[in-house]
Amino acid sequence: MQIIGQISGQLSGIASLASIIEDLTVRCVPIWAAGRESISMIIRIVRMHFRPGESAAFLDIFNASKHLIHQFKGCQQLCLYKEAGFPDVFFTYSVWSSAAHLDAYRNSELFGATWTKTKALFADKAQAWSIEEVETVGVS
């Protein structure tokens, strides 16, 4: 039963990620222009599952660091989402000017300090995706 629960949780996370990406494409700035190659913008999505009762501690960490993260060179946008129906599962969605900017942040003291505090609260290992937009349809 535990394995079935884990698989169900993973499938729920994948379905939630797809739903979040679909929802967010409405708000994304298109990176493809007629006759030009893509801009090197990177979108980073991180899924975090916290132990029961640790969400408030995570929100404290996020609220204390969100403006510093957003002010980090190359960070264009930072969003926090909570998975519907799962109060201990959160996603961060950040838009970076380039992979080099994201890497600089991930190698910074700010990231090290924030991530160390955050991952101490996890129920499961975080999942992360770095993605590039290929196409947006329906944005006016």
Q: Which pLDDT tens digit goes with each residue over 63-116?
A: 999 999 999 999 999 999 999 999 999 999 999 999 999 999 999 999 999 999
Q: pLDDT tens-digit profile of 35-68?
A: 334 457 999 999 999 999 999 999 999 999 999 9
pLDDT of residue 130: 97
The DSSP result for 19-54, as a single string, is HHHHHHTTTSPP--BTTBPPP--EEEEEEEEBPTT-
Nearest Cα to 39, choosing from 97, 78, 84? 97
Three-class DSSP category at 10: helix
Please tell me the predicted confidence (pLDDT) of residue 100: 96
- Could you tell me the strand order of the sheet in which 127-131 lies? 75-82, 89-96, 42-49, 127-131
Backbone angles phi, psi at 25, to 5 degrees: -60, -25
Which amino acid type is present at position 62?
Answer: F
What is the predicted pLDDT for the residue at 9? 55
pTM equals 0.72
Domains, the chain, in order of start with CATH, read 2-29+39-131 (3.30.70.100)
Span 110-123, pLDDT tens digits = 999 999 999 999 99
Looking at per-residue pLDDT, the higher value among 86 and 10 belongs to 86
Q: Residue 65: its pLDDT value, please?
A: 97
**What 3-state class would DSSP assign to 80?**
strand
Query: Taking a C-beta distance cutoff of 8 angstroms, is the pair 139, 37 a contact?
Result: no
Task: Answer yes or no: are the C-beta atoms of 133 and 76 closer than 8 Å.
Answer: no
